[in-house]
Amino acid sequence: MFTRTLQAGVLVSLLHAASTMAQTADVTDLQRRLEEQERKTAVLEPKLEIQDETTKAALPSTPVIKAGSKGFSIASQDNANGIKFRGLVHIDGRNFTDNSNMGGADQWQATRVRPWVEVTLYNFVDFRIMPDFGRGRTVLQDAWSACNPPRISASSSAATRPASRPTVIWGCSSAATC
């Protein structure tokens, strides 16, 4: 009986030692894998920061390109600079059922062909040019430009400013329209 108890005790001790060694091996393996992941993270974090900075630096220089029912446009991210291409085409079609009596021929004629370009430069200058190439002639249908100076405002506290002196905005009084 004693030998059986001794054998059982030895068996339990061996199993406990084996499980402890397995747990120790698992813990050591987990610690090794954790250290490996930390090394990889330490290498990748600076690379990710550099990539984010590069993306942020490139973002303002990336143009915004749009195409839709109002035409085609290319603009900067902040819309300070841009160019818009638009157009209008009217076509007149004439179809005669009996060409021999009328003496006319079936034809298509472009009565209005108006491409136009609108440009904005630094939110300071805007201009548009719209020629008309319809009916075989060229006419400058519309052309305009506008200068948009920055609004400069100088003001002081209402308590210290006399009521008779309005705030001046780029040479225009606040009561007048520029």
Q: What is the pLDDT of residue 118?
A: 95
60-101 pLDDT, tens digit each: 678 899 999 888 999 988 888 999 999 999 998 887 776 666
In this prediction, residues 126-148 reach a mean pLDDT of: 88
Residues 85 and 117 in one domain: yes
- As for how many domains the chain has, the answer is 2
Residues 141 and 82 in one domain: yes
pLDDT of 142 > 80? The answer is yes
Query: What pLDDT band is residue 149 in, cutting at 50, 70 and 90?
Result: confident
Residues 75 and 33 in one domain: no
Q: Can you give the residue range of the structural domain that contains 84?
A: 63-147
122-132 pLDDT, tens digit each: 888 899 999 99
Instruction: Judge whether 156 and 163 are in contact, CB under 8 Å.
Output: no
